[in-house]
Structures are given as structure tokens and as C-alpha cells.
Amino acid sequence: MQSMRLVILDKYDDVSVWAAKYIRRRILAFKPGPDRYFTLGLPTGSTPLGTYKKLIEYYKAGNLSFKYVKTFNMDEYVAIPRDHPESYHSFMWNNFFKHIDIDPANANILDGNAVDVQKECDDYEKKIAAAGGIELFVGGIGPDGHIAFNEPGSSLVSRTRIKSLAQDTILANARFFGGDLSKVPHQALTVGVGTVMDAREVMILITGAHKAFTLHKVIVFNDTSLYR
């Protein structure tokens, strides 16, 4: 049976330090090397920013290397240019990858401009499998409870695919597009709930009072699912 552990901390910074330390500990304990890559699933959003800052600090202090780490990002908007400042490619490069020693070839992000979107999604699943599956999937959660862009109602066994964003998510993300709803992409490619749940371990970061009710629902759902 899968078990859930809930770690409650007082402040956003405490969450960032805890999460970054945990990721470092898992990578170091794995002893990655040329024949043994650690696979890490990663999110975008405001929540993980502090965690990325801490991980960059560890790298700069010589306490952590990403040389033998492969990353798989959760999602990417459809049909905004890769170098758009709000694309998840830009987010990951600016906030994390360009500051660490990861090999760009090992930093995987879905291509939201792929001509054949379904093939792109299927290939992503194959790439994850070829990398040996994901060791630790780090994620965030939306105020409507979504994980990656799996909006409410997504199947719990869903795989990587194209999804339309829920109106709540479009509203939440408008802050990144000058508050202009029409500029927020309405579709994204996203790993599925099943893709996330296949990971050896999942760490979801939840901060902010606006997500308290969402967290409450997560705990109640997990509690009742134990008795099924």
C-alpha cells in the first residue's frame, strides 16, 4: 500500500529548505554515475522557486551535482514559442537549469509546439520508461487541486496527453500574462496522474492560505482511500 506523509512547516522558506534538502539527500543516497542516472520529475510555478534557489546554492557550494541527473518536467503550454518568457522552457532555464551543471540533453520538457502532439506525449512516456522511470517526482498543486495540468476530473490512471486548462487555472495563471486572460494559453501538454503515480516517490509542495482547502481535500481523500 502506498503511504502518505504530511510535513507541516511554518513558512514558505522552511518548505523550500526542507524540500531542497530532501532532494539533495535522495540524489546523494542514490550515488548517481555515468551508468546510473537519478531521474527527477520537476514542476514550474511560484511554489518551487525557493526550492530551486536552495538547490542552486548547494550546487554553487559544491555540495550537489546534477551531472548524472535526468529531469522530466511535468508540463508545457501549447502553442507559445519556446523562448516566450512565460513558456515553461524559459521558466526552467532561467530559474534553475542555467545555474547548475545539468547536461541540457538530460533536461526533458514537453514540446508544446510539436506538429504531432500525441506522438510527442507518447514519446515522452517512452523516454521516462527508457530512463528507468522517475525516482522522485516533485510537484505543486493548483487551487482547484490539479497536479501538473491534470484538471479536476482527470483520470487517476491518465498518461501524458493534451489537456484544456480549467477556467480557474486560466484565471490563476493570468498574473503571468499581464492579467490578460486572452493571452493565457488554453491548452497544455501534461504528464498524467498515472505518470506521476508511477514514480518511486512523489513530493507535492503546497504553500499559501489559498490552498488550505485543497490540502484539506487531499488529506481527506487519502484517508478514505486507505479504507477502500
Which residues contact ligand PGA (rule: CB under 6 A)? 45-47, 140-142, 146
Q: Give the nearer residue to ligand PGA in terms of CB position, either 37 or 52.
A: 52
Residues with catalytic annotation? 75, 144, 146, 151
Are 110 and 80 in contact by the 8 Å Cβ rule? The answer is no
C-alpha neighbours within 13 Å on the C-beta side of residue 160: 26
Question: What is the number of the residue whose Cβ is closest to ligand PGA?
Answer: 45
Q: Give the nearer residue to ligand PGA in terms of CB position, either 45 or 192.
A: 45
Q: How far apart are CA 56 and CA 222, in angstroms?
A: 33
In the complex, the smallest distance separating the C-beta of residue 74 from ligand PGA, rounded to whole angstroms, is 8
Task: Say whether 65 sits in a helix, a strand or coil.
Answer: coil
Grid cell locating 226 = 486507505
In the complex, the smallest distance separating the C-beta of residue 65 from ligand PGA, rounded to whole angstroms, is 26
Task: Residue 24: name the closest of 66, 60, 82, 75 by CA.
Answer: 66
In the complex, the smallest distance separating the C-beta of residue 136 from ligand PGA, rounded to whole angstroms, is 17
Q: Give the nearer residue to ligand PGA in terms of CB position, either 106 or 160.
A: 160
Are 201 and 136 in contact by the 8 Å Cβ rule? The answer is yes
